[in-house]
Amino acid sequence: MDLSERIKIITGSIPADVNLVAVSKTRSIEEILKVYEADIRDFGENKVQELIEKHDNLMDKNIRWHLIGHLQRNKVKYIVDKVHLIHSLDSVRLLEEIEKQFSLKNKIAKVLIQINIGREESKSGILEEDLINLINEVEKCSYVKVKGLMTIIPKGDEESSRIYFKKMKSIYEDLKTKSYNNVKMTYLSMGMTNDYKVAIEEGANIIRVGEGIFGKRIYDI
Ligand X SMILES: *Cc1c(COP(=O)(O)O)cnc(C)c1O
From residue 95, how far is each of 50, 182, 196 by CA, in Å?
Answer: 22, 13, 28
Shortest Å distance, C-beta 173 to ligand X: 22
Tell me the one-letter amino acid at 70. H
**Burial (0-12, 13-18, 19+ Cβ within 10 Å), 155:** exposed
Q: Are 114 and 124 in contact (CB under 8 A)?
A: yes
Complex with ligand X: residue 90 or 99, whichever CB lies closer: 90
Shortest Å distance, C-beta 23 to ligand X: 4
Complex with ligand X: residue 68 or 109, whichever CB lies closer: 68
Residues pairing with 154 in the sheet: none
3-state SS assignment for residue 59? coil
User: What distance, in Å, lies between the first and last C-alpha atoms of the chain?
Assistant: 26
Binding site for ligand X (CB under 6 A): 23, 25, 46, 68-69, 152, 192-193, 208-212
Shortest Å distance, C-beta 162 to ligand X: 18
Distance (Å, rounded) from C-alpha 113 to C-alpha 191? 15
Complex with ligand X: residue 25 or 54, whichever CB lies closer: 25
What residue number has its CB nearest to ligand X? 210
Complex with ligand X: residue 139 or 211, whichever CB lies closer: 211
Shortest Å distance, C-beta 28 to ligand X: 16
